[in-house]
Structure 1
Amino acid sequence: MNKTQMKNKKQLPSKQERHKLFGSVTPGPRTKPVEKEQMVDLQNSKKDFLFEIDTVGISNVKHPIRIQSTMTPEIQTTIGTFAFGSSINMESKGTNMSRFTQQLDAYHQEGFAVDLETLKKFTKELAGRLKQSDASVTVEYPWFFERKGPASQMAGMNHADATVTVSYHEESGFDMEVGLEATITTLCPCSKEISEYSAHNQRGNVSMSVKLSEDFDENKVDWKAALLEAAESNASARIHPVLKRPDEKMVTEQAYENPRFVEDIVRLVAADLYEYAFVEKFEITCRNEESIHLHDAIATLSYDKREER
Structure 2
Amino acid sequence: MSHQLPDVQATSPEVTVGLNRVGVTGVDKLVKIAREDDRPIVLTAEFEVFVDLPSWRKGADMSRNMEVIDETLEEATREEAYRVEDVCGDAAERLLEKHDYTSRAEVSMTAEFMRREHTPASDRETQHTVDVVASATATDEGTREEIGARVTGMTVCPCSQGMSVARAKQKLEDLDVEAEVITEFLDEIPQPGHSQRGHATLAIEADGAPDVDLNDVIDVARDSMSAHIYNLAKRPDEDHMTYEAHANAKFVEDCVRSMAEGVLEEFGHLPDDAVITMSQSNDESIHQHNAHAERVVEMGTLRAEVNGED
**Which residues of structure 2 form unaligned runs of 5+?**
169-190, 305-309
Partner of 1:5: none
Residues 166-185 of structure 1 aligned to structure 2 (within 5 Å): 166-170=136-140, 172-185=141-154
Partner of 1:3: none
> How does the TM-score come out when normalised to structure 1?
0.77
**Quick check: 1:266–1:301 contact (8 Å CA) kept in 2?**
yes
> How does the TM-score come out when normalised to structure 2?
0.77
More helix by share: 2
The answer to whether 1:38 aligns with 2:14 is no
Shift of 1:203: 0.5
Percent identity of paired positions between Structure 1 and Structure 2: 26
Partner of 1:85: 50
**Quick check: 1:53–1:88 contact (8 Å CA) kept in 2?**
yes
RMSD: 2.7
Shift of 1:188: 1.5
1:290/1:46 CA distance change after superposition, 3 Å: closer
Shift of 1:265: 0.5
How many aligned positions are there? 269
Shift of 1:61: 1.6
Partner of 2:86: 117
The answer to whether 1:278 aligns with 2:270 is yes
Render the CA deviation track for 1:37-76: whole Å, top value 9, x for unaligned: 6111111226896232222111122222223569xx8632
1:175/1:65 CA distance change after superposition, 3 Å: same
Q: Name the amino acid aligned to 1:45.
A: T
Residue 261 of structure 2: SS of its match in structure 1? helix
Shift of 1:164: 1.0
Shift of 1:175: 1.2
Q: Name the amino acid aligned to 1:78.
A: L
| C-alpha distance in structure 2 between counterparts of 1:201 and 1:285, whole Å | 18
**Quick check: 1:124–1:134 contact (8 Å CA) kept in 2?**
no
| C-alpha distance in structure 1 between counterparts of 2:144 and 2:115, whole Å | 27
Q: Name the amino acid aligned to 1:201.
A: S
1:272/1:42 CA distance change after superposition, 3 Å: same
Partner of 2:242: 252
| C-alpha distance in structure 2 between counterparts of 1:299 and 1:231, whole Å | 14
| C-alpha distance in structure 1 between counterparts of 2:35 and 2:198, whole Å | 24
1:294/1:74 CA distance change after superposition, 3 Å: farther
